């Protein structure tokens, strides 16, 4: 028997990435120990093709007092479904399935391009052209610096997506600029809370008018979130009815304001550590 053909993430293949992730044979290759929950690096093979992926078993999740319902894995998949509904493709293909350690989330592995910098710390008060200021960040005991992110349309789209899914933990390490020019975002377990939990590094557009592209996407999301509509039906399989209603309300609020959200001031707006 010939060895499976190794495929690059998001490459053109005869096997749909979702079919590969859902039906393929998972083989655990190692553990990503920096993560706070169990994250396993795996390969997945199906239909003569193979790819790398991440498997996060529900059994390895640590309970969160402010997310008492559902699982991190379900919210990761829900974030993928919303991302796909926007048409921006910001979240890698992600599925729920059984694995070697029980049910969990399986996501196609994406390699980031280390030569691309989307975040920076600068000592000057002004970020400079091409950058958006986020706020001051503590570098060490004696020094603070201005945290900035690139003024990039891909990041701006992600800022809108994060506002919709109520992302409570958008860190720099969750941003993967790919060699092909696309941007992928990972780690969406802390999302979809009914309370405002938005914490992110992408505040550079706070209060600014939303681009027309974003308004068009929000209009499509609004329609697809109507009771009985496809996205609403899919999300109801993954998160609670109250959480689905909260997604719908956030989309409506963004359309009404026509602006990027601003920090509430009720808690730290930037996650720690920021990367």
Q: Name the nearest CA neighbour of 54 among 69, 62, 43.
A: 43
pLDDT in tens, 168-190: 999 988 999 998 899 999 999 99
Rounded to the nearest 5 degrees, what angle is found at the Cα of 12, between the Cα atoms of 6 and 16?
85
Q: How confident is the model at residue 3 (pLDDT cuts 50, 70, 90)?
A: very low
Strand partners, 49: 5, 46
Is it the case that residue 272 has pLDDT exceeding 90?
no
pLDDT in tens, 197-245: 999 999 999 999 999 999 999 999 999 999 999 999 999 999 999 999 9
Alpha carbon distance 6, 66 (integer Å): 41
Rounded to the nearest 5 degrees, what angle is found at the Cα of 77, between the Cα atoms of 223 and 108?
120
Q: For residue 64, what pLDDT is reported? A: 85
pLDDT in tens, 186-198: 999 999 999 999 9
CA distances from 255 to 69, 122, 165, 249 (A): 28, 34, 15, 10
Q: For residue 275, what pLDDT is reported? A: 65
Q: How confident is the model at residue 6 (pLDDT cuts 50, 70, 90)?
A: very low
Domain boundaries, the chain: 5-108
Alpha carbon distance 37, 56 (integer Å): 8
Greater model confidence, 124 or 212: 212
Give all strands of the β-sheet with 119-122 in edge-to-edge order.
119-122, 143-150, 131-140
Give the strand pairing for 5-6 and 49-57.
Answer: parallel
Structure tokens at 198: 């938005």
Q: Which residue has the tokens 């694995």?
A: 99
CA distances from 184 to 74, 145, 222 (A): 19, 27, 23
Q: For residue 274, what pLDDT is reported? A: 64
pLDDT in tens, 35-72: 778 899 999 999 899 999 999 999 999 888 888 889 99
Q: For residue 25, what pLDDT is reported? A: 96
272 alpha carbon, distance to own chain's centre: 17
Is it the case that residue 24 has pLDDT exceeding 60?
yes
Question: What number of H helices and E strands is found in the chain?
Answer: 6, 11
Is it the case that residue 80 has pLDDT exceeding 50?
yes
Alpha carbon distance 187, 165 (integer Å): 12
């Amino acid at each position: 028997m010939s060895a499976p053909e190794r495929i690059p993430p998001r490459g053109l293949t005869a096997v749909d990435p979702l079919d590969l992730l859902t039906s393929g044979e998972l083989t655990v290759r190692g553990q990503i120990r920096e993560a706070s929950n169990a994250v396993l690096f795996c390969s997945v093979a199906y239909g003569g093709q193979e790819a790398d992926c991440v498997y996060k078993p529900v059994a390895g999740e640590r309970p969160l007092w402010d997310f008492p319902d559902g699982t991190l894995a379900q919210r990761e998949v829900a974030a993928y479904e919303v991302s796909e509904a926007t048409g921006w493709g910001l979240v890698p293909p992600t599925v729920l399935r059984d694995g070697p350690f029980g049910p969990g989330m399986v996501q196609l592995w994406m390699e980031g391009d280390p030569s691309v910098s989307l975040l920076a710390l600068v000592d000057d008060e002004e970020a400079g052209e091409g950058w958006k200021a986020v706020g001051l960040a503590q570098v060490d005991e004696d020094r603070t610096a201005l945290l900035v992110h690139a003024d990039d349309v891909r990041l701006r789209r992600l800022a809108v997506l994060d506002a919709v899914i109520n992302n409570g933990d958008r860190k720099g390490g969750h941003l993967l600029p790919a060699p092909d020019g696309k941007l992928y975002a990972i780690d969406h377990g802390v999302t979809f809370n009914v309370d405002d939990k938005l914490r992110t590094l992408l505040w550079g557009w706070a209060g600014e008018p939303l681009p027309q592209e974003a308004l068009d996407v929000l209009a499509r999301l609004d329609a697809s979130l109507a009771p009985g509509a496809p996205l609403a039906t899919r999300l109801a399989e993954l998160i609670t009815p109250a959480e689905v209603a909260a997604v719908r309300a956030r989309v409506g609020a963004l359309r009404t304001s026509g602006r990027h959200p601003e920090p509430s001031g009720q808690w730290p707006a930037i996650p720690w550590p920021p990367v």
